[in-house]
Amino acid sequence: MVNLGYKVLVNDGVRRHTDMRLPDGGPIVSSPVASTLILGEHDAVLVDPPFTQEQIQRVGDWIERSGKRLAFIYATHGHGDHWFGADTIMRRFPDAAAYATEKTIAMMHQQATTGRAQRWDADFPGLIPDSPVVFAPIPADGFTLEGHHCEAIEVGHTDTDDTTVLHVPSIGLVVAGDVAYNGVHQYLLESRDGGIQSWLAALDIVEALHPRAVVAGHKNRALPDDPAILGQTRQYLLDAQRLLDEKPTPLEYFDQMLALYPDRLNPGPVWYSAVALLS
């Protein structure tokens, strides 16, 4: 049995069509989003296809250049930027089967309808293709890529509800979706009512897998997929919770988080999360 490998393609963020601006007047931009290709000798698994037409084309070309047959697609959670491109990818690579957990699929149905109308198409008009929900529930025991087991691990709420990671034990790989961030500011808009505590518990689940590589769904492409990002994600949450508990103004919170994490990409989520949680 040939060992597996993996590669990551990070698509840059896209400017949101919104009247909101950063405190310095700068635009609000989506976070860079990572797609992972797990590679066997002949076949491959794509984790988290992106969401705009340009990003999807780039990922499709990347898959084609790999020379592998795309056998599976997996989505780690229901946020549209991690799966809206699946239908387009499957039409280009018709051998692929798309899997997600049942709870993720339920969120996909919301994101593909009211979610698109209220958020995605408003923020990114004309950029997202049709996004029917093409995913089937992942088998209880996962699936295999050339004899290597790939399993979905449900971890609950992280930056949204009902999130998962894809675990490939034979190579110590965790494709973490939004459970872990790597050099990018974390999205806390959905963290009310104990969301940060749930996210911390999810990190415990992933750490217990003792991964040798962890791919974040939102990452700085210049940074390695070091399992240390689990601890970094945890510390960011602890710092955010401490500051939120102090009930600062949105601007005070924004300034303090950027002072603590000056090298993280994309301050947009810090600002709009602060406005929502502290106003």
Encode pLDDT of 61-73 as tens digits: 999 999 999 999 9
pLDDT digits (tens, 9 = 90+) for 225-239: 999 999 999 999 999
The DSSP call for residue 40 is -
If phi > 0 it is left, if psi is from -120 to 50 it is alpha, else beta; for residue 177 that is left
- Give the amino acid at 272: Y
Do 132 and 87 meet the contact criterion of CB atoms below 8 Å apart?
A: yes
pTM: 0.97
Radius of gyration of the chain (CA): 18
pLDDT score, position 2: 82
- In three-state secondary structure terms, 156 is strand
Burial zone of 239 (CB within 10 Å; 0-12 exposed, 13-18 middle, 19+ buried): middle
| Closest alpha carbon to 86 in 95, 78, 104, 74 | 74
Fold classification of 5-278 is Metallo-beta-lactamase; Chain A (3.60.15)
In this prediction, residue 1 carries a pLDDT of 76
Opening angle at CA 64, ends 58 and 66, nearest 5 = 105
Which parts of the chain register pLDDT below 50? none
Determine the pLDDT at residue 159.
97
Give the 3-state secondary structure percentages of the chain, helix then strand then coil, rounded to 5.
40, 25, 40
What are the helix (H) ranges across the chain? 53-66, 86-92, 102-110, 121-123, 195-207, 228-245, 250-260, 268-278
Residues 153, 27: Cα–Cα separation, whole Å? 36
What pLDDT was estimated at residue 180? Answer: 98
pLDDT confidence of residue 22: 98
Q: What are phi and psi of 271, to 5 degrees?
A: -70, -50
Placement of tokens 């988290």 in the chain = 48
Q: Tell me, what amino acid is at 144?
A: T
